[in-house]
A = this chain, B = another copy of it.
Amino acid sequence: MIKRSPSLTDQVKSHIKEQILNDEFEGNRIPSETDLANDLGVSRTTVRDALSRLESEGVIYRKQGVGTFVNRPGLQIKSRLDEIWSYEAVLEAHGYRPSTKVLDVRREPAEPAFANALNVPVDAEILVVRKLFLEDHQPVILTCNYIPQVLIQKPFETTDLKVPVFDFLGEFGDQHLSYYLSEIVPVVATESLAHTLHVPALTAVLSLEEIGFNEENKPILKACSYFRDDLLRLGLIRRKV
């Protein structure tokens, strides 16, 4: 699989976060920037940058004149909405044993609103993939991904779509998802959605309507996901600006 190497700051950030999750810092205290820089063999600036991001994500906090500490409440959220994880990883974080089922794959012409959002001509061919993420045969998340066919450069099989959509886009389209612009929409499940998710009709379901962008800020993907609130609660940290 083709993967872009993350920046040094991101690597340092991930490394420190992993140490935090493994409870490796005594008294929840993060070592000094200088110590971290020496331990990791990177510059203090890189460490500073990584810590600043962890702070803004609510993973750590600075106490003026005392030091930097792990922010335990910030680690409670298992499905952080402001981060893109594979849904398999999200389900695992909840202690579930995830499986994935590709419900259907079809091609359809882009409607004007879609074409506009994805920056392709009207009627351009769109690959539409519907997938279900399950925990022990129980559906938890339904996703529908819309990918401009023109981005896909290599032939693929339906089974190639079982991986996270960003991995599929990387491998078969050489497109690298950088971020989603996401809208959060509450919906009352239609009969068909309720049937797919195994919930009673008229259940409230959370949906995410998203446009995915690559590192050049070009739209490469439209996604719509539905989450069963009884099995998976999305959360995040909201900070003062």
Contacts and interface: CB of A to CB of B under 8 A. Distances in A.
Number of copies of chain A assembled together: 2
A223 B186 CA distance: 19
Nearest to A187: B204
Interface in A30-80: 45, 48-49, 52-53, 56-58, 61, 63, 71-74, 76-77
B49 A241 contact: no
Given A187-B204, A188-B202, A238 B48 contact: no
Given A45-B48, A83-B240, A179-B240, 20 more contacts: A52-B52, A72-B217, A81-B184, A82-B237, A82-B238, A83-B239, A83-B241, A84-B239, A84-B241, A179-B238, A179-B239, A181-B237, A182-B236, A183-B235, A184-B206, A184-B234, A185-B233, A186-B187, A188-B188, A206-B206
Interface of A: 9, 14, 45, 48-49, 52-53, 56-58, 61, 63, 71-74, 76-77, 81-85, 166, 177-188, 202-206, 210-211, 213, 215-217, 229, 233-241
28 contacts: A9-B52, A53-B56, A56-B57, A58-B179, A58-B181, A61-B215, A61-B217, A63-B216, A72-B217, A74-B181, A81-B236, A82-B236, A83-B239, A85-B241, A180-B237, A181-B237, A182-B236, A182-B238, A183-B233, A183-B234, A184-B184, A185-B206, A185-B229, A186-B186, A186-B206, A187-B204, A204-B204, A210-B238
A192 B213 CA distance: 41
B238 A83 contact: yes
Nearest to A204: B186
